[in-house]
Amino acid sequence: MRKIIILILLIVAFIQVKAQEMLGIVNSNYAGSVGSIINPSSIVNSKLYMDINLITADIFAENNYLYIHKEDYKLFDYLKREPQFPSYGKDNQAFDHYTDNKIKHAFSNIRIIGPSAMIVNGNHAFALTTGVRTMVTLRRMPYEIANFSYEGLNYPSQFNINYKDYDFSLTSMAWGEIGLTYAYIFKKVYNNQWSAGITVKKLFSYGGAYMNINNIDYLVLNDSTVDIKNLDAEVGLSLPVDYTNNDFPDDGKFFKGGGFGLDLGITYQKKARGYSNRKYNKLCRQPYEDYVYRIGVSILDIGGVKFKENAEKHVYDNVSTYWEEIDTLTYNNIHDLSQTISNQFYGDPNASLIADEISISLPTTLSLQIDYCYNKNWYINTTFFYPLELGKTYLQRPPQISVTPRFEKRQYEFAIPISLYNLKQPRIGLSARIYFLTVGTDKLGGFFGFSDFTGMDIYFSVKFNFHKGFCFGGRRFLPCQNNEYR
């Protein structure tokens, strides 16, 4: 049992590459189709009339329980042919753990945006995007459960204490998506411009699982006995695994579930001057009109996935048990484990299984973006993310606020994201673009051991940009004269 819980914690906290927000990319006026993931209305306001994204990847993980001591973390040493990794504790584990009494959180996210494209024609813009995402959310885990998971039940300082914990969860899902974005400038009045956008996404999931603990009241008496006075919990899984023998992948369908997602956004721009009424006969001749500032509001990832393939929902409805010799628990496969637990609580190995389908909601998030142009090519951006709880079982992005100064030109760009992760943890990042290649991180300290290593972030993008006002052959079409603006 302990090994499984430790494995879950390690996977949640570190193994997944993490995709958080790509602050150095998504708010750029050269973001193109990638910008639609933060606000679908942004694409019609781009400095590009077309872009073709080959691949954009964002890799992120963060937690507040497991860590590597900053003096032990040497990234470049780990990249050697025979790296030497630190070890901690009596079992020589890869990570140490914090012993404070804070609630524990972990978030891991991989986002890969595959072949995608955007095209802008005047007041209209369209984008087609493809991608895969993997996300794991560990939310509000009590500190003592984290300690038992790391140390095992043989943790005397936590013996004979009546713990009462509420409302914590672990949720994971991997899925692919195909999205169609449409954005439209619906109002122009002199130098005021309003645009709206929508992205509809078809979702295909390879698997998902969750554990929701509504209430648990328990004591650990010793290293082999647990008195669970009350447990109100639900566990769901739909995985590419044969539950009877643990074969991976199973013989069933590749996609275990499907659904739809939706992004909505609106943007207001205060233009530096009125908009152009000059006609153009080629997309590349479209003028770009810069702004003094822009304000965007979006709701991201509305929707979810319903799993009907290889799906099981187990419910423990205010049950109790006095479990002796729990340290000797053995099992050979997932069904063996679930039936053993059900039999312990209900006296029936199949009583906990109540349904053969489950649902997991996307990480619905409210976002606010404010971008100010304070000098030619120089911008300051503020972005805010706040998770919304839609549905009973859901993935959740951590709240975050950032301030990002950036310098952008057609050939190159750089940005320095400064953010408060979870609205508590300060971090600084760096992003740079040269023509078609962008590389960046929102957590620069994760590479250099400035503090204990609790996670890291890296992203890159390879895409081709086609700029408004520039046509093939190198000819540039300059903005119109002032009397052509209104």
Position of tokens 């781009």? 46
CA angle 236/241/245 to nearest 5° reads 110
Residue 372 phi/psi, 5° resolution? Answer: -125, 130
Q: Among 9-13, 37-41, 214-218, 353-357, where is mean pLDDT lowest?
A: 9-13
* Peptide bond between residue 249 and the one before it cis (omega within 30 degrees of 0): yes
In the beta sheet, which residues pair with residue 109? 60, 135
| Number of helical H runs and strand E runs in the chain | 5, 23
CB distance 176 to 135 below 8 Å: no
The whole-number average pLDDT for the span 237-260 is: 94
Position of tokens 């590749």? 254
The whole-number average pLDDT for the span 194-202 is: 98
Q: What DSSP element (H or E) covers 291?
A: strand 291-307
Q: How many CB atoms lie within 10 A of CB 353?
A: 17
Cα 395 to Cα 139: distance, rounded to the nearest angstrom = 9
- Of residues 133, 256, 308, 145, the one with CA closest to residue 211: 145
Question: What's the pLDDT score for residue 476?
Answer: 59
CB distance 369 to 39 below 8 Å: yes
Find the DSSP H helices in 181-257.
none
Please, which contacts does 221-226 make with residues 24 or more away whose CB atoms are closer than 8 Å?
A: 221/159, 221/160, 222/153, 222/159, 223/152, 223/153, 223/154, 223/155, 223/327, 224/153, 224/324, 224/325, 224/326, 224/327, 224/328, 225/322, 225/323, 225/324, 225/325, 225/326, 226/153, 226/323, 226/326
Chain mean pLDDT for the chain: 89
The model's confidence at residue 17, banded by pLDDT at 50, 70 and 90, is very low
Checking if the pLDDT of 451 tops 70, the result is yes
Question: What's the pLDDT score for residue 83?
Answer: 75
Question: What's the pLDDT score for residue 483?
Answer: 42
Q: Among 68-77, 94-103, 431-440, 467-476, where is mean pLDDT lowest?
A: 467-476
Q: How many CB atoms lie within 10 A of CB 449?
A: 16
Cα 26 to Cα 60: distance, rounded to the nearest angstrom = 16
Q: Among 47-51, 370-374, 455-459, where is mean pLDDT lowest?
A: 455-459
- Of residues 445, 472, 467, 470, the one with CA closest to residue 456: 445
Structure tokens belonging to residue 315? 């419910």
Question: What's the pLDDT score for residue 350?
Answer: 95
Position of tokens 């956008």? 197
Question: What's the pLDDT score for residue 272?
Answer: 86
CB distance 144 to 163 below 8 Å: yes
- Cα of 22 vs its chain's centroid, Å: 10
Checking if the pLDDT of 279 tops 70, the result is yes
Predicted TM-score of the model (pTM): 0.89
The whole-number average pLDDT for the span 208-225 is: 96
